[in-house]
Chains A and B, each alone.
Chain A
């Protein structure tokens, strides 16, 4: 038992380390300006992987069907943006409201320079997560009494409300109303000028650390309690697991990481604007979770990259009118990509309901494979 756990840990660490090195190498060997799509897909994939895993913690491991993910991402993104816009940029960003109500920025408060940047960004991301978790705690009080579809509807409503609130004119000096917040540190801020390009590496590292923490949680005694609640609530309660407390815990932790993911998303797209965090975004993330396999962290990660690459990059050609010689390829026009996408999704949901991984994890599969080959070798001898 202990031995297989250690093995899993090593395989996971090895995979993560190799991925990080590979990504850093890629970014420094290839020219980012010629491979824009590749690097956008990689970064967005990393961010979506984190948000999908956070959603999986709630939907897949605790059995709470919540659709508030975009709302919590919004909270994280705004908190991050508001806390990190440099003081001298504030007037330009908040020009409609004659300047910002908040006139400090964490990277500058923490000494500026590279150290201030790293610490400030980290602190702002964590605070973004905390804001999301705090709000989750509050709305969890009434909402977590609901079950299945009702909980989904209530959290969906929350996402819509929070989006409307952040566009409210009266909050303008803080949220900049319906306008975008921008000019804050992004992934590209971590590229060393004339030296290493680290933007993709930073995205992977930050998302990776968060996913690692979620993994640790899932494999702890609390994670086991969450799974017990998912499998049979009545039995879990009869075995001394406080349902209200554990559901709230899972909801807050999931929202915390959705908040951090929202901050990362803001770093990715160089702006934070309420209208980007729509219900459609929640559905995208839910899709990733379903395609990857409900209850599988590695499945969510793999599916996040596949989904993002497909929607942003591989299927782009479907949206552009194409001529082969004098022949116009039928159907290819703006919007056709989404049609194809919907069909793929329907096929997945109809025929591959368990997703890519089911509820298994990648290290288990790898460990299983190496175990099988070893057994085969032993049999061969």
Chain B
């Protein structure tokens, strides 16, 4: 159970002179739901972008399922500008593109929903299956891959059934209500057959009832697809309810890490982010 799926090691992400993520270390174990929280601008999404290959970190490494997938060290003019730690420790450069990271088994959703707008719900999920397809462009064009295509379509039907979107599968993705669009984005990520699911503010803009449904939904899919979930979230109800462990970022630095109960009573976290409720 305690096998490490994701390990972020001494990651520093510096844009020019601005240190967005400063020496971040964290681990996510198989089957866990882990949350990353912190005030706006703390570097949470930047950390996600480094993990998924969108940004190349300035220094540090990322391990996924025991394999080093990202590594970098300060180069060129960054050498002089670098303000972080562990500068001499890394020598190699590993910079996978985001699609490669996804094919390795990490799928993500976005803070501001990014569905394919002109496509139906069904096609949105089906397109995500493309990265698992083994046919080349000839066999796909001339329908020599019919078996694979049929299997993919069946898988998508099944998946839509599981996430409760089967009844709207022929609607345009953008015609869905907000909550369902969020759900569809998660379904799309699931179609890429990930081991680790990264959710960037899945409950953003949701009302309390939708948030509650989403909380249950994340737990369900975790069990059903044997996933590990790593999420960024501001809704503390959701975070405290479903996560086993929580990391707290502030100004790019990790300020606390522990179980929900520990985090709720951590003085630094309360000062930096959670605050004190008025009636306390």
A interface vs B, CB < 8 Å? 1, 213, 216-217, 220-222, 224-225, 227-228, 230-232, 234-244, 249, 253, 295, 359
Instruction: Tell me which residues across on chain A come within 8 A of B242, comparing CB atoms.
Output: none
Given A221-B149, A239-B128, the answer on whether A228 and B141 have CB atoms closer than 8 Å is no
Q: Are A241 and B131 in contact (CB under 8 A)?
A: yes
Residue from the list A227, A244, A253, A359 in contact with B116, Cβ < 8 A: A227
Q: What is the total of A-B residue contacts with beta carbons within 8 Å? A: 105
Q: Are B130 and A241 in contact (CB under 8 A)?
A: yes
Q: Does B56 contact A (CB under 8 A)?
A: no
Q: Does B44 contact A (CB under 8 A)?
A: no
Q: Are A235 and B116 in contact (CB under 8 A)?
A: yes
- Beyond the given A222-B137, A224-B127, A238-B99, please list 5 additional residue pairs across the A-B interface where CB-CB is below 8 A: A216-B143, A228-B127, A232-B117, A239-B102, A239-B130
Q: Are B128 and A240 in contact (CB under 8 A)?
A: yes
Nearest B residue to A240, CB-CB:
B131
Instruction: Tell me which residues across on chain B come within 8 A of A213, comparing CB atoms.
Output: 141
Interface centre among B127, B128, B133, B170, by most chain A C-beta atoms within 10 angstroms, is B127
Q: Does B219 contact A (CB under 8 A)?
A: no
Instruction: Tell me which residues across on chain A come within 8 A of B32, comparing CB atoms.
Output: none
Q: Are A216 and B142 in contact (CB under 8 A)?
A: yes
Q: Are A234 and B141 in contact (CB under 8 A)?
A: no
Residue from the list B98, B122, B141, B145 in contact with A237, Cβ < 8 A: B98
Residue from the list A221, A228, A231 in contact with B140, Cβ < 8 A: A221
Expressed in whole angstroms, the minimum distance between the Cβ of A65 and any Cβ of chain B is 17
Interface centre among B118, B119, B130, B135, by most chain A C-beta atoms within 10 angstroms, is B130
Nearest B residue to A218, CB-CB:
B141
A1 to B135 Cα, complex, angstroms? 22
Q: Are B119 and A217 in contact (CB under 8 A)?
A: no
Given A239-B102, A240-B103, the answer on whether A221 and B130 have CB atoms closer than 8 Å is yes
Q: Are B99 and A241 in contact (CB under 8 A)?
A: yes
Q: Are B116 and A221 in contact (CB under 8 A)?
A: no
Q: Does B108 contact A (CB under 8 A)?
A: yes
Q: 0/1 per residue, B264-275, Cβ < 8 Å to A?
A: 000000000000
Q: Pick 8 A–B contacts, CB within 8 A, sort by A.
A: A1-B122, A220-B140, A228-B119, A238-B99, A240-B107, A240-B130, A244-B97, A249-B137
A216 to B141 Cα, complex, angstroms? 5
Q: Are A221 and B110 in contact (CB under 8 A)?
A: no
Q: Are B118 and A359 in contact (CB under 8 A)?
A: yes
Q: Are A243 and B118 in contact (CB under 8 A)?
A: no
Q: Are A239 and B127 in contact (CB under 8 A)?
A: yes
Given A1-B122, A235-B110, A241-B131, the answer on whether A220 and B116 have CB atoms closer than 8 Å is no
Expressed in whole angstroms, the minimum distance between the Cβ of A159 and any Cβ of chain B is 25
Residue from the list A234, A239, A244 in contact with B131, Cβ < 8 A: A239
B interface vs A, CB < 8 Å? 52, 54, 97-100, 102-103, 107-108, 110, 114-119, 122-123, 126-133, 135, 137, 140-143, 145, 149, 152-153, 170, 188-189, 192
A371 to B153 Cα, complex, angstroms? 24
Expressed in whole angstroms, the minimum distance between the Cβ of B235 and any Cβ of chain A is 23
Nearest A residue to B145, CB-CB:
A221
Q: Are A217 and B141 in contact (CB under 8 A)?
A: yes
Residue from the list B97, B126, B137, B145 in contact with A217, Cβ < 8 A: B137
Expressed in whole angstroms, the minimum distance between the Cβ of A4 and any Cβ of chain B is 10
Instruction: Tell me which residues across on chain B come within 8 A of A225, comparing CB atoms.
Output: 127, 130
A237 to B110 Cα, complex, angstroms? 12
Nearest B residue to A217, CB-CB:
B141
Q: Are B130 and A224 in contact (CB under 8 A)?
A: yes
Nearest B residue to A295, CB-CB:
B118
Residue from the list A239, A242, A243 in contact with B107, Cβ < 8 A: A239
Given A221-B135, A238-B102, A239-B131, the answer on whether A227 and B142 have CB atoms closer than 8 Å is no
Q: Are A243 and B99 in contact (CB under 8 A)?
A: yes
Instruction: Tell me which residues across on chain B come within 8 A of A238, comparing CB atoms.
Output: 52, 54, 98-99, 102, 107-108, 110, 114
Q: Are A231 and B128 in contact (CB under 8 A)?
A: no
Expressed in whole angstroms, the minimum distance between the Cβ of B177 and any Cβ of chain A is 20
Nearest A residue to B109, CB-CB:
A238
Nearest A residue to B157, CB-CB:
A1
Residue from the list B99, B122, B145 in contact with A240, Cβ < 8 A: B99
Expressed in whole angstroms, the minimum distance between the Cβ of A190 and any Cβ of chain B is 26
A20 to B213 Cα, complex, angstroms? 57
A237 to B102 Cα, complex, angstroms? 8
Q: Are B126 and A224 in contact (CB under 8 A)?
A: yes
Q: Are A240 and B192 in contact (CB under 8 A)?
A: yes
Nearest A residue to B170, CB-CB:
A1
Instruction: Tell me which residues across on chain A come within 8 A of B149, comparing CB atoms.
Output: 221
Q: Are B117 and A231 in contact (CB under 8 A)?
A: yes
A253 to B119 Cα, complex, angstroms? 23
A-B interface, 4 closest residue pairs, ranked by CB to CB distance from nearest: A240-B131, A240-B102, A231-B116, A235-B114
Expressed in whole angstroms, the minimum distance between the Cβ of B52 and any Cβ of chain A is 7
Instruction: Tell me which residues across on chain A come within 8 A of B97, comparing CB atoms.
Output: 237, 242-244
A243 to B131 Cα, complex, angstroms? 12
Instruction: Tell me which residues across on chain B come within 8 A of A241, comparing CB atoms.
Output: 99, 127, 130-131
Nearest A residue to B117, CB-CB:
A231
Instruction: Tell me which residues across on chain A come within 8 A of B52, comparing CB atoms.
Output: 238
A300 to B196 Cα, complex, angstroms? 43
Instruction: Tell me which residues across on chain A come within 8 A of B137, comparing CB atoms.
Output: 217, 220, 222, 249, 253
A225 to B99 Cα, complex, angstroms? 12
Instruction: Tell me which residues across on chain B come within 8 A of A227, comparing CB atoms.
Output: 116, 118-119, 127
Nearest B residue to A230, CB-CB:
B118
